[in-house]
Structure 1
Amino acid sequence: MDVKKEIRVLGIDDAPFIKGKSKEVLVIGVVFRGGEFLDGVLSTYIECDGNDATQKIIEMVNRSTHRLQLRVMMTDGIAFGGFNLIDIQEIFEQTKIPVIVVMRYYPDVERMKHALMKFSDFQERVDKLLKAGEIHEFQVKQGKIYYQFHGTTRQMVERVLQTTLKRGLVPEPLRVAHLITTGIVFGESRGRA
């Protein structure tokens, strides 16, 4: 797949929530042309610490009028709304859009597995964690980020990252999705994506 300057990228992030009190968590998807222009905003709600994030993201993408233009989607990690883990293979299979999971820090997988033990569907959640695949490092002049992917090649992922990284270590579609979610929840955007 060729990566054009204005490749349509969907950046997906979850909103902040109150641990132990929030029942639902807002998830925002922003449609970007490369790292330059915001073309649209999608939204859905997921259950806090639930098991519906994969299906809700699939539904959000498949019902969108932007769907046919999207070439890749990226998420801020695989855990949404606490421990509502996404299955990136299932998302790709149901949408036919490659998925890139972006992480600012190298994740402690063993620590995540331990935290998941409190859930009755522990094994299903761990399976999603492991199905996300190998964690790769991507070096840029500002530092490094980490990623996992499904439905495309490592070379294409790194070209998409180069195209969408404009300020700092967070691709522009994820940075803007984060600004929108925090702005909605707090009345003003804040924090780092």
Structure 2
Amino acid sequence: MIRKVKREIRVIGFDDGTFTGKNRGEKVILVGVIMKGALDVVGIVTRWITIDGFDSSDAIIDAVNSSRFKDLRVIMLKGVTYAGFNIVDVKRVYRETGLPVIVVIRKKPDLNAMESALRKHFNDYEERIKLLRSAGKLIELIPGKLYYQVVGLSEDTAREVIRVTTRNSLIPEPLRLAHMIASAVMRGESTKD
């Protein structure tokens, strides 16, 4: 439990690499950046996940639980869909790592459009929709610009963690760096967060 959010709170932020021309079943990198607050990078973990697969939760859980970084306090995710529609089971990640999860989203998701796409393209759409809906209430942090969901922390504490881990953009630094590293691995050059 987090009683007070310190400036040097240890967090891990995950994002996947951008991809083009990849087909369902191929692999995309998932990068986790471990930081003390918004200032110091203390480590990086990677896993490969399947485009439109069901292994993003397993990869995050394994990356956290098998890492040498045992003083992590929070897991941050840049959205809940990785590698296309490889949807993270946020509650399972919380349960199996023992760490609260904060999902940060730049653009308000259109859940109806996502659910429609899942129904159209996936036989197992019911399970994927269930994961989307179970990620927690969408909370607006910066009107029209930044949203978050949280499991395992109060909304206020989650908001404070986002604040102390943000430095160079609207997105917390661990997520911004994870995005840059993952996209550089996949494309040879980082892309904008």
Pick closer, same or farther for the CA change 1:19–1:136 going to 2, 3 Å: farther
Percent identity of the aligned residues?
Answer: 39
Contact 2:16 2:183 in 1 (8 A): no
Q: Please report the TM-score for the alignment, with normalisation by the length of structure 1.
A: 0.94
Q: Separation in 1 of the partners of 2:96 and 2:56?
A: 13
Instruction: Return the alpha-carbon distance in structure 2 between the equivalents of residues 39 and 110 of structure 1.
Output: 39
Partners of 1:124 and 1:186 in 2: CA distance: 31
Alpha carbons 2:31, 2:46 under 8 Å: kept: yes
**Alignment match, 2:184:** 183
Q: CA offsets per residue over residues 134-160 of structure 1, 9 Å max, x none?
A: 1001138xx741001101110110000
Query: Is structure 2 residue 46 aligned with structure 1 residue 37?
Result: no
Q: 1:20 to 1:176 in 2, by over 3 A?
A: closer
| Residue 55 (structure 1) shift | 1.1
How far apart are 1:17 and its partner, in Å?
Answer: 1.6
1:190 CA drift (Å): 2.0
Structure 2 unaligned segments of length 5 or more: list them.
none
- State the Cα distance separating 1:187 from its structure 2 match: 2.1
User: Which residue type is aligned with residue 159 of structure 1?
Assistant: E
Residues paired across the two proteins, number: 189
The alpha-carbon deviation at position 18 of structure 1 amounts to 2.3
- Cα distance in 2 for partners of 1:130, 1:100 equals 15
Aligned to 1:155: 156
Choose the corresponding residue for 1:89, options 80, 91, 116: 91
Runs of 4+ in 1 over 6 A off after TM superposition: none
**1:101 equivalent in alignment to 2:103:** yes
Q: Are residues 1:128 and 2:153 paired?
A: no
Mapped partners of 1:20, 1:5: distance in 2 = 39
Alpha-carbon distance between aligned partners in 2 of 1:77 and 1:87, rounded to the nearest angstrom: 11
**1:25-64 matched pairs, under 5 angstroms:** 25-64=28-67
**What is the CA deviation profile of residues 122-142 of structure 1, one whole-angstrom value per residue up to 9, with x for unaligned ones?**
1110000000011001138xx
Cα distance in 1 for partners of 2:22, 2:7 equals 42
> Would you say the 8 A contact 2:54–2:87 is kept in 1?
yes
Residue 24 of structure 1 corresponds to 27
Q: Secondary structure at the match of 1:30?
A: strand
Q: Identify unmatched segments of 5+ residues in structure 1.
A: none
Distance 1:19 1:156, change over 3 A: farther
